[in-house]
Structure 1
Amino acid sequence: MGWFIQLNPVYQAGIAGIGTWLCTVLGASFVFLVRKIDSKLLAMMQGLAGGIMVAASFWSLLAPALEQQASVESNIPEWFPAAVGFLAGGIFLRLIDKFVPHLHYAGDHGDTNLSETSLSKTWMLFLAVTIHNIPEGMAIGVAFAAATIGIEGATLASAISLAIGIGIQNIPEGSALSLPLMGEGKGKGYAFNMGQMSALVEPFGAMIGAATVLAMQTILPYALSFAAGAMIFVVVEELIPESQTEGNTDIATMSFMAGFVIMMILDVALG
Protein backbone atom coordinates (compact mmCIF):
# COMPACT_ATOMS: atom_id res chain seq x y z
CA MET A 1 0.00 0.00 0.00
CA GLY A 2 2.97 2.28 0.65
CA TRP A 3 3.83 2.46 -3.05
CA PHE A 4 0.30 3.63 -3.83
CA ILE A 5 0.43 6.42 -1.25
CA GLN A 6 3.65 7.74 -2.80
CA LEU A 7 2.16 8.01 -6.30
CA ASN A 8 1.04 11.24 -7.93
CA PRO A 9 -2.74 11.59 -7.36
CA VAL A 10 -3.32 11.52 -11.11
CA TYR A 11 -1.83 8.02 -11.23
CA GLN A 12 -3.69 7.05 -8.04
CA ALA A 13 -6.93 8.10 -9.69
CA GLY A 14 -6.05 6.21 -12.87
CA ILE A 15 -5.35 2.99 -10.95
CA ALA A 16 -8.60 3.41 -9.01
CA GLY A 17 -10.42 3.96 -12.31
CA ILE A 18 -8.92 0.76 -13.71
CA GLY A 19 -10.18 -1.01 -10.60
CA THR A 20 -13.74 0.23 -11.15
CA TRP A 21 -13.51 -0.83 -14.81
CA LEU A 22 -12.45 -4.33 -13.71
CA CYS A 23 -15.57 -4.46 -11.54
CA THR A 24 -17.61 -3.72 -14.66
CA VAL A 25 -15.74 -6.55 -16.40
CA LEU A 26 -16.80 -8.83 -13.55
CA GLY A 27 -20.44 -7.77 -13.89
CA ALA A 28 -20.40 -8.18 -17.65
CA SER A 29 -18.93 -11.69 -17.27
CA PHE A 30 -22.22 -12.85 -15.72
CA VAL A 31 -23.37 -13.54 -19.29
CA PHE A 32 -21.17 -16.64 -19.18
CA LEU A 33 -22.72 -17.83 -15.91
CA VAL A 34 -26.47 -17.45 -16.41
CA ARG A 35 -28.82 -18.86 -18.99
CA LYS A 36 -31.69 -16.43 -18.65
CA ILE A 37 -32.28 -12.96 -17.28
CA ASP A 38 -33.95 -12.62 -13.90
CA SER A 39 -35.73 -9.25 -13.90
CA LYS A 40 -35.93 -9.28 -10.12
CA LEU A 41 -32.15 -9.72 -9.84
CA LEU A 42 -31.55 -6.88 -12.28
CA ALA A 43 -33.87 -4.63 -10.28
CA MET A 44 -32.02 -5.49 -7.07
CA MET A 45 -28.64 -4.73 -8.65
CA GLN A 46 -29.81 -1.43 -10.11
CA GLY A 47 -31.40 -0.40 -6.82
CA LEU A 48 -28.21 -1.28 -4.96
CA ALA A 49 -26.13 0.75 -7.43
CA GLY A 50 -28.42 3.75 -7.04
CA GLY A 51 -28.17 3.71 -3.26
CA ILE A 52 -24.38 3.50 -3.37
CA MET A 53 -24.13 6.46 -5.76
CA VAL A 54 -26.46 8.68 -3.71
CA ALA A 55 -24.53 8.01 -0.50
CA ALA A 56 -21.19 8.53 -2.26
CA SER A 57 -22.42 11.81 -3.72
CA PHE A 58 -23.04 13.22 -0.25
CA TRP A 59 -20.37 11.76 2.04
CA SER A 60 -17.48 11.66 -0.43
CA LEU A 61 -18.24 14.72 -2.55
CA LEU A 62 -20.81 17.24 -1.28
CA ALA A 63 -19.79 17.14 2.39
CA PRO A 64 -16.08 17.82 1.65
CA ALA A 65 -17.11 20.60 -0.75
CA LEU A 66 -19.10 22.32 2.00
CA GLU A 67 -16.29 21.83 4.54
CA GLN A 68 -13.71 23.23 2.12
CA GLN A 69 -15.68 26.43 1.56
CA ALA A 70 -16.37 26.79 5.29
CA SER A 71 -12.63 26.57 6.05
CA VAL A 72 -11.61 29.57 3.93
CA GLU A 73 -12.22 33.26 4.47
CA SER A 74 -14.47 34.42 1.68
CA ASN A 75 -17.40 36.70 0.97
CA ILE A 76 -19.01 33.84 -0.93
CA PRO A 77 -21.67 31.99 1.12
CA GLU A 78 -20.62 28.51 2.25
CA TRP A 79 -23.40 26.88 0.28
CA PHE A 80 -22.72 28.70 -3.01
CA PRO A 81 -19.97 26.52 -4.59
CA ALA A 82 -21.79 23.31 -3.65
CA ALA A 83 -25.09 24.56 -5.06
CA VAL A 84 -23.60 25.90 -8.28
CA GLY A 85 -21.38 22.88 -8.87
CA PHE A 86 -24.18 20.42 -8.13
CA LEU A 87 -26.57 22.04 -10.61
CA ALA A 88 -23.80 22.40 -13.21
CA GLY A 89 -23.08 18.65 -12.99
CA GLY A 90 -26.69 17.83 -13.79
CA ILE A 91 -26.87 20.39 -16.61
CA PHE A 92 -23.63 19.03 -18.10
CA LEU A 93 -25.04 15.50 -18.37
CA ARG A 94 -28.36 16.80 -19.66
CA LEU A 95 -26.53 18.57 -22.50
CA ILE A 96 -24.59 15.41 -23.34
CA ASP A 97 -27.87 13.47 -23.32
CA LYS A 98 -29.31 16.06 -25.70
CA PHE A 99 -26.58 15.91 -28.32
CA VAL A 100 -25.27 12.32 -28.19
CA PRO A 101 -27.61 9.68 -29.69
CA HIS A 102 -28.51 7.14 -27.02
CA LEU A 103 -31.33 4.97 -25.72
CA HIS A 104 -32.40 3.81 -22.25
CA TYR A 105 -33.78 0.42 -21.28
CA ALA A 106 -36.48 2.08 -19.20
CA GLY A 107 -37.87 3.72 -22.32
CA ASP A 108 -37.24 6.48 -24.82
CA HIS A 109 -36.65 9.77 -22.97
CA GLY A 110 -37.14 11.77 -26.13
CA ASP A 111 -33.48 12.81 -26.28
CA THR A 112 -32.80 11.11 -29.62
CA ASN A 113 -34.86 11.17 -32.79
CA LEU A 114 -34.53 7.54 -33.80
CA SER A 115 -35.37 8.34 -37.42
CA GLU A 116 -32.40 10.70 -37.68
CA THR A 117 -29.64 8.35 -36.55
CA SER A 118 -28.04 5.38 -38.26
CA LEU A 119 -26.86 3.87 -34.97
CA SER A 120 -28.33 0.54 -33.95
CA LYS A 121 -30.32 0.13 -30.74
CA THR A 122 -27.42 -1.80 -29.23
CA TRP A 123 -24.95 1.01 -29.81
CA MET A 124 -27.36 3.63 -28.49
CA LEU A 125 -27.82 1.57 -25.32
CA PHE A 126 -24.04 1.31 -25.05
CA LEU A 127 -23.67 5.08 -25.43
CA ALA A 128 -26.27 5.71 -22.71
CA VAL A 129 -24.30 3.63 -20.19
CA THR A 130 -20.96 5.09 -21.30
CA ILE A 131 -22.22 8.66 -20.94
CA HIS A 132 -23.28 7.94 -17.39
CA ASN A 133 -19.92 6.39 -16.52
CA ILE A 134 -18.15 9.68 -17.20
CA PRO A 135 -19.12 11.36 -13.89
CA GLU A 136 -18.07 8.29 -11.93
CA GLY A 137 -14.54 8.56 -13.30
CA MET A 138 -14.51 12.31 -12.69
CA ALA A 139 -15.67 11.81 -9.11
CA ILE A 140 -12.82 9.40 -8.40
CA GLY A 141 -10.25 11.82 -9.82
CA VAL A 142 -11.59 14.81 -7.92
CA ALA A 143 -11.64 12.82 -4.66
CA PHE A 144 -7.98 11.76 -4.98
CA ALA A 145 -6.92 15.30 -5.86
CA ALA A 146 -8.86 16.66 -2.87
CA ALA A 147 -7.10 14.20 -0.57
CA THR A 148 -3.71 15.43 -1.78
CA ILE A 149 -4.61 19.07 -1.26
CA GLY A 150 -5.50 18.15 2.31
CA ILE A 151 -8.90 19.73 2.87
CA GLU A 152 -10.95 18.73 5.89
CA GLY A 153 -13.19 15.76 5.19
CA ALA A 154 -11.23 14.68 2.10
CA THR A 155 -8.68 11.95 2.83
CA LEU A 156 -6.98 9.23 0.84
CA ALA A 157 -9.08 6.71 2.74
CA SER A 158 -12.31 8.48 1.75
CA ALA A 159 -11.17 8.62 -1.89
CA ILE A 160 -10.44 4.89 -1.80
CA SER A 161 -13.83 4.21 -0.20
CA LEU A 162 -15.49 6.20 -2.98
CA ALA A 163 -13.65 4.11 -5.59
CA ILE A 164 -14.67 0.92 -3.78
CA GLY A 165 -18.29 2.07 -3.68
CA ILE A 166 -18.31 2.92 -7.39
CA GLY A 167 -16.62 -0.41 -8.10
CA ILE A 168 -19.35 -2.25 -6.19
CA GLN A 169 -22.08 -0.49 -8.14
CA ASN A 170 -20.23 -1.12 -11.43
CA ILE A 171 -20.75 -4.87 -11.02
CA PRO A 172 -24.53 -4.66 -11.51
CA GLU A 173 -24.02 -1.88 -14.04
CA GLY A 174 -21.94 -4.19 -16.24
CA SER A 175 -24.61 -6.87 -15.91
CA ALA A 176 -27.40 -4.40 -16.62
CA LEU A 177 -26.02 -3.83 -20.11
CA SER A 178 -24.62 -7.25 -21.03
CA LEU A 179 -27.47 -9.46 -19.75
CA PRO A 180 -30.27 -7.69 -21.67
CA LEU A 181 -28.12 -7.75 -24.82
CA MET A 182 -27.78 -11.49 -24.39
CA GLY A 183 -31.53 -11.69 -23.85
CA GLU A 184 -32.06 -9.93 -27.18
CA GLY A 185 -30.18 -12.73 -28.91
CA LYS A 186 -26.71 -11.22 -29.07
CA GLY A 187 -23.79 -13.60 -28.62
CA LYS A 188 -22.33 -13.93 -25.14
CA GLY A 189 -18.93 -12.66 -26.26
CA TYR A 190 -20.48 -9.62 -27.94
CA ALA A 191 -22.68 -8.85 -24.93
CA PHE A 192 -19.68 -9.18 -22.59
CA ASN A 193 -17.51 -6.83 -24.65
CA MET A 194 -20.21 -4.18 -24.88
CA GLY A 195 -20.73 -4.35 -21.13
CA GLN A 196 -17.08 -4.06 -20.16
CA MET A 197 -16.23 -1.40 -22.78
CA SER A 198 -18.89 0.93 -21.39
CA ALA A 199 -16.65 1.62 -18.37
CA LEU A 200 -13.37 2.20 -20.22
CA VAL A 201 -14.01 5.94 -19.90
CA GLU A 202 -13.65 5.76 -16.11
CA PRO A 203 -9.82 5.54 -15.82
CA PHE A 204 -9.42 8.41 -18.30
CA GLY A 205 -12.14 10.48 -16.61
CA ALA A 206 -10.47 9.89 -13.25
CA MET A 207 -7.07 11.07 -14.45
CA ILE A 208 -8.54 14.11 -16.20
CA GLY A 209 -10.57 15.04 -13.11
CA ALA A 210 -7.53 14.77 -10.81
CA ALA A 211 -5.24 16.72 -13.17
CA THR A 212 -7.80 19.51 -13.61
CA VAL A 213 -8.29 20.02 -9.88
CA LEU A 214 -4.55 19.93 -9.15
CA ALA A 215 -3.96 22.57 -11.85
CA MET A 216 -6.75 24.82 -10.55
CA GLN A 217 -7.16 24.14 -6.84
CA THR A 218 -9.56 27.05 -6.33
CA ILE A 219 -12.25 25.15 -8.24
CA LEU A 220 -12.12 22.18 -5.85
CA PRO A 221 -15.46 22.73 -4.03
CA TYR A 222 -17.13 23.32 -7.39
CA ALA A 223 -15.51 20.20 -8.87
CA LEU A 224 -16.54 18.00 -5.94
CA SER A 225 -20.16 19.14 -6.10
CA PHE A 226 -20.14 19.00 -9.94
CA ALA A 227 -19.28 15.29 -9.74
CA ALA A 228 -22.00 14.80 -7.12
CA GLY A 229 -24.63 16.51 -9.27
CA ALA A 230 -23.70 14.45 -12.32
CA MET A 231 -23.93 11.22 -10.31
CA ILE A 232 -27.33 12.12 -8.87
CA PHE A 233 -28.53 12.91 -12.39
CA VAL A 234 -27.58 9.39 -13.45
CA VAL A 235 -29.38 7.84 -10.48
CA VAL A 236 -32.62 9.75 -11.00
CA GLU A 237 -32.69 9.51 -14.79
CA GLU A 238 -31.56 5.93 -15.27
CA LEU A 239 -31.00 3.67 -12.25
CA ILE A 240 -34.19 4.37 -10.31
CA PRO A 241 -36.61 4.22 -13.29
CA GLU A 242 -35.02 1.02 -14.62
CA SER A 243 -35.03 -0.65 -11.21
CA GLN A 244 -38.74 0.07 -10.77
CA THR A 245 -39.95 -1.60 -13.95
CA GLU A 246 -41.72 -4.95 -14.24
CA GLY A 247 -43.36 -4.79 -10.82
CA ASN A 248 -40.17 -4.99 -8.77
CA THR A 249 -40.76 -1.74 -6.90
CA ASP A 250 -40.42 -2.97 -3.33
CA ILE A 251 -37.32 -5.11 -3.76
CA ALA A 252 -35.63 -2.38 -5.83
CA THR A 253 -36.38 0.21 -3.16
CA MET A 254 -35.03 -1.97 -0.35
CA SER A 255 -31.93 -2.68 -2.43
CA PHE A 256 -31.47 1.06 -2.88
CA MET A 257 -31.57 1.53 0.88
CA ALA A 258 -29.10 -1.33 1.38
CA GLY A 259 -26.72 0.25 -1.14
CA PHE A 260 -26.97 3.59 0.63
CA VAL A 261 -26.11 1.99 3.97
CA ILE A 262 -23.18 0.03 2.48
CA MET A 263 -21.62 3.19 1.04
CA MET A 264 -22.29 5.16 4.23
CA ILE A 265 -20.51 2.51 6.30
CA LEU A 266 -17.59 2.38 3.86
CA ASP A 267 -17.11 6.12 3.88
CA VAL A 268 -17.46 6.60 7.65
CA ALA A 269 -15.41 3.53 8.56
CA LEU A 270 -12.57 4.18 6.12
CA GLY A 271 -12.75 7.98 5.92
Structure 2
Amino acid sequence: MNWFLSLSPVMQAFIATMFTYLMTAAGAAMVFPFKSINKKALNAMLGFAAGVMIAASFWSLLAPAIQMVEDRGGIAWIPAVVGFISGGFFLWVIDKILPHLHLNMKREDAEGISTSWQRSVLLVLAITLHNFPEGLAVGIGIQNFPEGAAVSVPLRREKLTRWKSFLYGQFSGVVEPIAGVIGALAVIYMRPMLPYALSFAAGAMIYVVVEELIPESQFGDEVDLSTIGAMMGFAVMMTLDVALG
Protein backbone atom coordinates (compact mmCIF):
# COMPACT_ATOMS: atom_id res chain seq x y z
CA MET A 1 0.00 0.00 0.00
CA ASN A 2 2.97 2.32 0.58
CA TRP A 3 3.67 2.43 -3.15
CA PHE A 4 0.19 3.82 -3.76
CA LEU A 5 0.52 6.52 -1.11
CA SER A 6 3.86 7.59 -2.60
CA LEU A 7 2.22 8.43 -5.93
CA SER A 8 1.01 11.92 -6.85
CA PRO A 9 -2.64 12.73 -6.03
CA VAL A 10 -3.47 12.81 -9.73
CA MET A 11 -2.02 9.33 -10.29
CA GLN A 12 -3.80 8.02 -7.19
CA ALA A 13 -7.09 9.36 -8.53
CA PHE A 14 -6.42 7.81 -11.93
CA ILE A 15 -5.67 4.36 -10.46
CA ALA A 16 -8.70 4.50 -8.12
CA THR A 17 -11.09 5.45 -10.90
CA MET A 18 -9.57 2.85 -13.22
CA PHE A 19 -10.79 0.35 -10.63
CA THR A 20 -14.32 1.74 -10.97
CA TYR A 21 -14.04 1.48 -14.75
CA LEU A 22 -12.87 -2.15 -14.49
CA MET A 23 -15.87 -2.92 -12.28
CA THR A 24 -18.12 -1.51 -15.02
CA ALA A 25 -16.32 -3.68 -17.58
CA ALA A 26 -16.71 -6.73 -15.32
CA GLY A 27 -20.43 -6.10 -15.09
CA ALA A 28 -20.66 -5.65 -18.86
CA ALA A 29 -18.85 -8.99 -19.29
CA MET A 30 -21.90 -10.73 -17.80
CA VAL A 31 -23.22 -10.67 -21.35
CA PHE A 32 -20.85 -13.49 -22.31
CA PRO A 33 -22.26 -16.23 -20.04
CA PHE A 34 -25.82 -14.85 -19.96
CA LYS A 35 -28.18 -13.48 -22.61
CA SER A 36 -30.45 -12.13 -19.90
CA ILE A 37 -30.34 -11.54 -16.15
CA ASN A 38 -33.22 -12.33 -13.82
CA LYS A 39 -35.14 -9.08 -13.30
CA LYS A 40 -35.28 -9.58 -9.54
CA ALA A 41 -31.50 -10.00 -9.39
CA LEU A 42 -30.92 -6.91 -11.53
CA ASN A 43 -33.29 -4.84 -9.37
CA ALA A 44 -31.46 -5.98 -6.25
CA MET A 45 -28.10 -5.01 -7.80
CA LEU A 46 -29.38 -1.60 -8.89
CA GLY A 47 -30.81 -1.08 -5.40
CA PHE A 48 -27.43 -2.03 -3.93
CA ALA A 49 -25.75 0.53 -6.21
CA ALA A 50 -28.20 3.21 -5.05
CA GLY A 51 -27.49 2.43 -1.39
CA VAL A 52 -23.74 2.61 -1.94
CA MET A 53 -23.99 5.98 -3.66
CA ILE A 54 -26.27 7.47 -0.97
CA ALA A 55 -23.88 6.41 1.80
CA ALA A 56 -20.83 7.61 -0.14
CA SER A 57 -22.48 10.97 -0.76
CA PHE A 58 -22.52 11.65 2.96
CA TRP A 59 -19.56 9.83 4.51
CA SER A 60 -17.12 10.27 1.61
CA LEU A 61 -18.18 13.71 0.39
CA LEU A 62 -20.51 15.88 2.49
CA ALA A 63 -19.12 15.00 5.94
CA PRO A 64 -15.48 15.70 4.94
CA ALA A 65 -16.55 18.95 3.25
CA ILE A 66 -18.34 20.12 6.39
CA GLN A 67 -15.39 19.10 8.58
CA MET A 68 -12.93 21.06 6.41
CA VAL A 69 -14.92 24.26 6.76
CA GLU A 70 -15.39 23.77 10.51
CA ASP A 71 -11.63 23.27 10.92
CA ARG A 72 -11.06 26.63 9.20
CA GLY A 73 -13.57 28.33 11.46
CA GLY A 74 -16.02 28.98 8.64
CA ILE A 75 -19.78 28.52 8.34
CA ALA A 76 -19.92 24.83 7.52
CA TRP A 77 -23.38 24.60 6.00
CA ILE A 78 -22.83 27.21 3.26
CA PRO A 79 -20.35 25.29 1.04
CA ALA A 80 -22.25 22.05 1.68
CA VAL A 81 -25.60 23.46 0.57
CA VAL A 82 -24.27 25.56 -2.31
CA GLY A 83 -22.14 22.72 -3.69
CA PHE A 84 -24.87 20.10 -3.19
CA ILE A 85 -27.56 22.12 -4.98
CA SER A 86 -25.11 23.09 -7.74
CA GLY A 87 -24.25 19.43 -8.37
CA GLY A 88 -27.88 18.47 -8.72
CA PHE A 89 -28.62 21.47 -10.94
CA PHE A 90 -25.66 20.64 -13.19
CA LEU A 91 -26.93 17.09 -13.72
CA TRP A 92 -30.45 18.42 -14.35
CA VAL A 93 -29.15 20.72 -17.10
CA ILE A 94 -27.09 17.94 -18.71
CA ASP A 95 -30.09 15.64 -18.42
CA LYS A 96 -32.13 18.10 -20.48
CA ILE A 97 -29.43 18.52 -23.15
CA LEU A 98 -27.69 15.17 -23.66
CA PRO A 99 -29.82 12.65 -25.60
CA HIS A 100 -30.22 9.48 -23.52
CA LEU A 101 -32.66 6.68 -22.73
CA HIS A 102 -33.35 5.08 -19.36
CA LEU A 103 -33.77 1.34 -18.93
CA ASN A 104 -37.28 -0.03 -19.46
CA MET A 105 -38.25 2.98 -21.60
CA LYS A 106 -39.32 3.01 -25.24
CA ARG A 107 -37.16 4.67 -27.90
CA GLU A 108 -39.69 7.48 -28.35
CA ASP A 109 -39.40 8.33 -24.63
CA ALA A 110 -35.72 9.33 -24.96
CA GLU A 111 -34.78 12.46 -22.99
CA GLY A 112 -32.59 15.39 -23.98
CA ILE A 113 -32.31 17.00 -27.39
CA SER A 114 -34.21 15.11 -30.08
CA THR A 115 -31.97 12.84 -32.14
CA SER A 116 -32.11 9.91 -34.53
CA TRP A 117 -29.40 8.00 -32.63
CA GLN A 118 -29.98 4.30 -32.10
CA ARG A 119 -31.53 2.99 -28.87
CA SER A 120 -28.26 1.24 -27.96
CA VAL A 121 -26.32 4.52 -28.08
CA LEU A 122 -28.94 6.30 -25.97
CA LEU A 123 -28.82 3.55 -23.32
CA VAL A 124 -25.04 3.87 -23.07
CA LEU A 125 -25.25 7.67 -22.78
CA ALA A 126 -27.72 7.34 -19.88
CA ILE A 127 -25.22 5.33 -17.83
CA THR A 128 -22.28 7.46 -18.98
CA LEU A 129 -24.11 10.57 -17.83
CA HIS A 130 -24.24 9.50 -14.21
CA ASN A 131 -20.82 7.83 -14.16
CA PHE A 132 -19.14 11.24 -14.46
CA PRO A 133 -20.03 12.46 -10.94
CA GLU A 134 -19.03 9.04 -9.59
CA GLY A 135 -15.59 9.64 -11.11
CA LEU A 136 -15.37 12.98 -9.31
CA ALA A 137 -15.98 11.09 -6.06
CA VAL A 138 -12.92 8.94 -6.89
CA GLY A 139 -13.02 5.22 -6.65
CA ILE A 140 -16.21 4.00 -5.03
CA GLY A 141 -16.34 1.21 -7.54
CA ILE A 142 -18.46 -1.61 -6.14
CA GLN A 143 -21.73 -0.12 -7.42
CA ASN A 144 -20.46 -0.10 -11.01
CA PHE A 145 -20.77 -3.86 -11.54
CA PRO A 146 -24.58 -3.89 -11.80
CA GLU A 147 -24.49 -0.73 -13.92
CA GLY A 148 -22.26 -2.39 -16.51
CA ALA A 149 -24.58 -5.38 -16.64
CA ALA A 150 -27.60 -3.08 -16.84
CA VAL A 151 -26.25 -1.72 -20.14
CA SER A 152 -24.78 -4.77 -21.86
CA VAL A 153 -27.52 -7.33 -21.13
CA PRO A 154 -30.41 -5.27 -22.56
CA LEU A 155 -28.28 -4.58 -25.64
CA ARG A 156 -27.73 -8.32 -26.08
CA ARG A 157 -31.49 -8.85 -25.88
CA GLU A 158 -31.82 -6.35 -28.73
CA LYS A 159 -29.81 -8.70 -30.98
CA LEU A 160 -26.41 -7.01 -30.75
CA THR A 161 -23.47 -9.41 -30.70
CA ARG A 162 -21.94 -10.31 -27.34
CA TRP A 163 -18.78 -8.33 -28.15
CA LYS A 164 -20.69 -5.23 -29.23
CA SER A 165 -22.88 -5.42 -26.12
CA PHE A 166 -19.78 -5.74 -23.92
CA LEU A 167 -17.95 -2.88 -25.65
CA TYR A 168 -20.92 -0.56 -25.31
CA GLY A 169 -21.38 -1.55 -21.67
CA GLN A 170 -17.77 -1.01 -20.62
CA PHE A 171 -17.55 2.25 -22.57
CA SER A 172 -20.06 3.81 -20.18
CA GLY A 173 -17.39 3.65 -17.45
CA VAL A 174 -14.58 5.28 -19.44
CA VAL A 175 -15.56 8.76 -18.23
CA GLU A 176 -14.76 7.89 -14.60
CA PRO A 177 -10.93 7.96 -14.87
CA ILE A 178 -11.26 11.22 -16.82
CA ALA A 179 -13.48 12.77 -14.14
CA GLY A 180 -11.20 11.42 -11.40
CA VAL A 181 -8.13 13.15 -12.85
CA ILE A 182 -10.10 16.40 -13.31
CA GLY A 183 -11.23 16.21 -9.69
CA ALA A 184 -7.69 15.57 -8.42
CA LEU A 185 -6.32 18.53 -10.40
CA ALA A 186 -9.09 20.70 -8.98
CA VAL A 187 -8.12 19.66 -5.45
CA ILE A 188 -4.48 20.56 -6.06
CA TYR A 189 -4.98 23.93 -7.73
CA MET A 190 -8.20 25.08 -6.07
CA ARG A 191 -7.87 23.81 -2.50
CA PRO A 192 -10.12 26.52 -0.95
CA MET A 193 -12.87 25.31 -3.28
CA LEU A 194 -12.54 21.68 -2.17
CA PRO A 195 -15.57 21.69 0.21
CA TYR A 196 -17.70 23.04 -2.64
CA ALA A 197 -16.30 20.44 -5.05
CA LEU A 198 -16.98 17.54 -2.68
CA SER A 199 -20.51 18.78 -2.04
CA PHE A 200 -21.01 19.26 -5.79
CA ALA A 201 -20.14 15.60 -6.41
CA ALA A 202 -22.51 14.55 -3.60
CA GLY A 203 -25.37 16.54 -5.09
CA ALA A 204 -24.75 15.10 -8.55
CA MET A 205 -24.71 11.56 -7.17
CA ILE A 206 -27.93 11.99 -5.19
CA TYR A 207 -29.59 13.40 -8.32
CA VAL A 208 -28.58 10.27 -10.22
CA VAL A 209 -29.85 7.98 -7.45
CA VAL A 210 -33.27 9.65 -7.23
CA GLU A 211 -33.67 10.28 -10.96
CA GLU A 212 -32.47 6.95 -12.31
CA LEU A 213 -31.27 4.17 -10.02
CA ILE A 214 -34.18 4.01 -7.57
CA PRO A 215 -36.92 4.17 -10.24
CA GLU A 216 -35.12 1.58 -12.37
CA SER A 217 -34.58 -0.74 -9.39
CA GLN A 218 -38.29 -0.52 -8.49
CA PHE A 219 -39.49 -1.50 -11.97
CA GLY A 220 -41.62 -4.65 -11.77
CA ASP A 221 -44.14 -6.30 -9.47
CA GLU A 222 -41.84 -7.22 -6.57
CA VAL A 223 -39.69 -4.41 -5.22
CA ASP A 224 -38.71 -5.83 -1.83
CA LEU A 225 -35.39 -7.14 -3.15
CA SER A 226 -34.38 -3.77 -4.59
CA THR A 227 -35.23 -2.08 -1.28
CA ILE A 228 -33.22 -4.68 0.65
CA GLY A 229 -30.41 -4.25 -1.86
CA ALA A 230 -30.38 -0.49 -1.22
CA MET A 231 -30.23 -1.07 2.55
CA MET A 232 -27.36 -3.53 2.15
CA GLY A 233 -25.46 -1.23 -0.21
CA PHE A 234 -25.82 1.65 2.26
CA ALA A 235 -24.67 -0.54 5.15
CA VAL A 236 -21.64 -1.87 3.25
CA MET A 237 -20.50 1.59 2.14
CA MET A 238 -21.09 3.07 5.60
CA THR A 239 -19.02 0.28 7.15
CA LEU A 240 -16.17 0.78 4.68
CA ASP A 241 -16.11 4.54 5.16
CA VAL A 242 -16.27 4.44 8.96
CA ALA A 243 -13.92 1.49 9.43
CA LEU A 244 -11.30 2.62 6.90
CA GLY A 245 -11.64 6.32 7.57
Distance 2:60 2:120 in 1: 33
Aligned to 1:218: 192
**Superposed, which structure 2 residues align to 1:82-121 within 5 Å?**
82-107=80-105, 111-112=111-112, 116-121=114-119
- What RMSD over aligned residues (CA atoms) do the two structures have, in Å? 1.3
Aligned to 1:38: 38
Q: Give the secondary-structure state (helix, strand or coil) at the position aligned to 2:142.
A: helix
Per-residue deviation, 1:105: 1.1
Per-residue deviation, 1:110: 6.6
Alignment TM-score, normalising by the size of structure 1: 0.87
Aligned to 1:128: 126
Identity of aligned residues (%): 52
Structure 1 residue aligned with 2:162, among 184, 188, 194? 188
Distance 1:63 1:228 in 2: 10
Per-residue deviation, 1:89: 0.4
Alignment TM-score, normalising by the size of structure 2: 0.96
Q: What is the CA deviation profile of residues 191-246 of structure 1, one whole-angstrom value per residue up to 9, with x for unaligned ones?
A: 10011010001011000011012101110110111000001111111100000001
Task: Tell me which stretches of 4 or more aligned residues in structure 1 moved more than 3 Å.
Answer: 106-111
Aligned to 1:233: 207
Q: Give the partner amino acid of 1:209.
A: G
Aligned to 2:16: 16
1:198 paired to 2:196: no
1:254 paired to 2:228: yes
Per-residue deviation, 1:112: 2.8
Unaligned runs of 5+ in 1: 141-162
**Superposed, which structure 2 residues align to 1:136-155 within 5 Å?**
136-140=134-138
Q: What is the CA deviation profile of residues 116-153 of structure 1, one whole-angstrom value per residue up to 9, with x for unaligned ones?
A: 3121111111111101100011111xxxxxxxxxxxxx
Per-residue deviation, 1:82: 0.2
Per-residue deviation, 1:36: 2.7
Q: Give the partner amino acid of 2:24.
A: T
Q: Give the partner amino acid of 1:200.
A: V
Distance 1:3 1:228 in 2: 29
- Contact 1:37/1:183 (CA < 8 Å) preserved in 2? no
Unaligned runs of 5+ in 2: none
Distance 2:29 2:110 in 1: 31
Per-residue deviation, 1:106: 4.2
Q: Give the partner amino acid of 1:65.
A: A
Q: Give the secondary-structure state (helix, strand or coil) at the position aligned to 1:167.
A: coil
Distance 1:62 1:6 in 2: 26
Distance 2:242 2:9 in 1: 22
- Contact 1:106/1:241 (CA < 8 Å) preserved in 2? no
Q: What is the CA deviation profile of residues 167-190 of structure 1, one whole-angstrom value per residue up to 9, with x for unaligned ones?
A: 110011100111111122211111
Structure 2 residue aligned with 1:78, among 73, 76, 79? 76
1:244 paired to 2:218: yes
- Contact 2:65/2:80 (CA < 8 Å) preserved in 1? yes
